[in-house]
A and B are shown apart, each in its own frame.
Chain A
Amino acid sequence: MLFKFLKASDVKSSEITPERLYHGRRDFMADAARIGAGVAATAAVGIAVPKAAAQSAALQGVRKISAYDTDERPTPFKAVTTYNNFYEFGTGKDDPAKNAHTLITDPWSVKVDGHVDKPGTYSLDDLISPHTMEERLYRMRCVEAWSMVIPWVGVPLKDIITRLGPTSKAKYIRFETLEDHKQMPGQRRRVINWPYVEGLRLDEAMHPLTLMAVGLYGQSLPNQNGAPLRLVVPWKYGFKGIKSIVRISFTDRMPRNSWNELAPNEYGFYANVNPEIDHPRWSQANERRIGEFRRRKTLMFNGYGEEVAHLYAGMNLKKFY
């Protein structure tokens, strides 16, 4: 059992480690790894699931160094949790943090359907706890030309998919966000055709980089960041990272995705980070890392080209953006 319930009085890991030290933890981990010969890398992983108050729980002991970590400096916790898009709670960048408190994340269940051996309705615990939780420090590039570095906590999506057993007909995976106008006040206006939908090709979903995140910065996902369960695909623009997932479908056809449906010339299905292909209204050649003054060059596939470029071999990325 990997989930463990914390009492409200338990100390959160985010309280134990001041953010400044957290930033330096990679140096510490490097030392520890040298001394402990990999002890750190196999450290036990546990997650607390919020029982009463969604915000009170913390993920504990997730201190595994991932082979996929970037060594870049994490964006401050406060920026990660107060500046993002989650139109279900409003279209302003600070709206999600202001309005997402109405979302009830416990209990939470996810419907699994389509071309899959084990369809059904899974509780969050059923879906996540059979798998090994990992912390991954990923770059995150928003299509609006800003970026962050975020320490996500989650399980590789591949592990979940393998257990659910897609059939040979399954070529794509489709995700859906909760639609509930009471919990998600931003949905009272049809800015987007609710519910928000995203999708991946099955091989993209099975890529070891693709993460099903349940936390960040060593604690459970704040509501505004897509609690309790969200997708993280670090080589794609951030809008592919669908939040607050309630349905996962295995399909034989490419699913529509919300932003593509809204403005097909601006947002594609693949949405791979690509500095050479401009958004019609701005260049994607560079980006502003939150917290930095000058823009920096955007990297092909957000810097994960070595890992993922083969997925798109032979494809015309100008056409399949």
Chain B
Amino acid sequence: MRLSLFYQKAIVHLLALLPALWLFWQGWLLYDYQDHALTANPIQYINQYTGDWAIRLILLGLALTPLRQVFGWNRLIQFRRMIGLYAFFYVMLHLVNFMVLDHFFDWATIIKDVIKRPAITFGMIAATLLIPLAVTSTKGWVRRLGKKWIKLHQLIYVIGALAVVHNIMMVKADLREPLIHLGILIILLGYRLARRAGFTYSMT
């Protein structure tokens, strides 16, 4: 028996929301003077946590097409917009945490950071580029833009690369996780290059 698309989507929604729900719950515990998992420096913790989930969802979004083509899971396309928008959601949480909680609207410092520090420059460009993609994710925009829509949304390759570079540059010494992200990114983009060069592979 196969679940209807409605339930499948509900499950994906729930899974994508879980990290955020966990974060808000831990934030509530902190607010309520209870033991929480956000460490003694919650703002720093939230920065890292939302950034990690943003990257995971961007990579997941990039993985859908290869998975579909290699394994013939054609229904995956139905979740692509959702995954993309959830990636955007975590990027926005990350950005709001950085600008509001971390720097409390200290625009002078924020702008200086963006200009002066390549790691932050890359992160900020990635986040900014994601905005037009989120805005044009509706059916109406897909129709209106036609072929240009695909061109525009290929920006996600650039965004993914910028996000992973940002991730690597922000880590002090323990590069395990950012390098895993880099490895996945290389596979996913490499797959597309290989396909463009004429290689195809399918399990079905």
Residues of A within 8 A of B (CB): 75, 78-79, 82-83, 87, 91, 93-94, 144, 146, 191-192, 262-263, 278, 280-283, 285-286, 288, 290-291, 293-295
State in angstroms the CA–CA spacing of A282 and B120 once bound together.
Answer: 9
List which B105-131 residues lie within 8 A (CB) of chain A: 106, 109, 112-113, 116-117, 119-120
Query: Which B residue's beta carbon lies closest to that of A78?
Result: B40
Q: Measuring CB to CB, which residues of chain B are less than 8 angstroms from any residue of chain A?
A: 39-41, 43-45, 101, 103-104, 106, 109, 112-113, 116-117, 119-120, 169-170, 172-174
Contact between chains at A278 and B174 (CB < 8 Å): no
Name the CB-closest residue of A to B171. Answer: A91
B173, A192: Cβ atoms closer than 8 Å: yes
- Expressed in whole angstroms, the Cα–Cα distance for A285 and B108 within the complex equals 12
Verify A91–B173 contact, CB threshold 8 A: yes
- Can you give 18 A-B contacts (C-beta < 8 A)? A83-B39, A83-B40, A91-B173, A93-B44, A93-B45, A144-B172, A146-B41, A191-B173, A262-B173, A281-B169, A281-B170, A283-B109, A286-B109, A288-B43, A291-B40, A293-B101, A293-B104, A295-B103
Please tell me which one of the listed residues B39, B44, B112, B119 contacts residue A281 in the complex, with CB atoms under 8 A apart.
B119
Q: Which of B43, B117, B173 has the most CB of A within 10 A?
A: B173
The answer to whether residues A283 and B112 also contact, given A191-B174, A294-B104 and a CB cut-off of 8 A, is yes
Establish whether residues B117 and A280, one from each chain, have CB atoms under 8 Å apart when the complex forms: yes
Q: Which residues of B contact A93 (CB under 8 A)?
A: 39-41, 44-45
A91-B173, A262-B173, A280-B117 known, 20 other contacts, Cβ within 8 Å? A75-B40, A83-B39, A83-B41, A91-B172, A91-B174, A93-B39, A93-B44, A94-B39, A144-B44, A281-B117, A282-B113, A282-B117, A283-B109, A285-B109, A288-B41, A288-B44, A290-B40, A290-B41, A295-B104, A295-B106
- Shortest A97–chain B CB gap in Å is 10
Chain A residues within an 8 Å CB radius of B109: 283, 285-286
Name the residue in A91, A144, A263 with the highest tally of chain B Cβ atoms < 10 Å from its Cβ.
A91
Residues of B within 8 A of A83 (CB): 39-41
Assembly CA distance A294 to B105 (angstroms): 11
Q: Which residues of A contact B117 (CB under 8 A)?
A: 280-282
Complex: A82 Cα to B172 Cα, angstroms: 20
B116 neighbours in A (Cβ, 8 Å): 278
A93 vs B44: C-alpha distance in the bound complex, in angstroms? Answer: 10
User: Across the interface, do B173 and A87 meet the contact criterion of CB distance under 8 Å?
Assistant: yes
**In whole angstroms, what is the CA distance A79 to B169 when docked?**
27
Task: Specify the chain B residue showing the minimal Cβ separation from A259.
Answer: B173
How many angstroms between the C-alpha atoms of A131 and B97 in the bound complex? 48
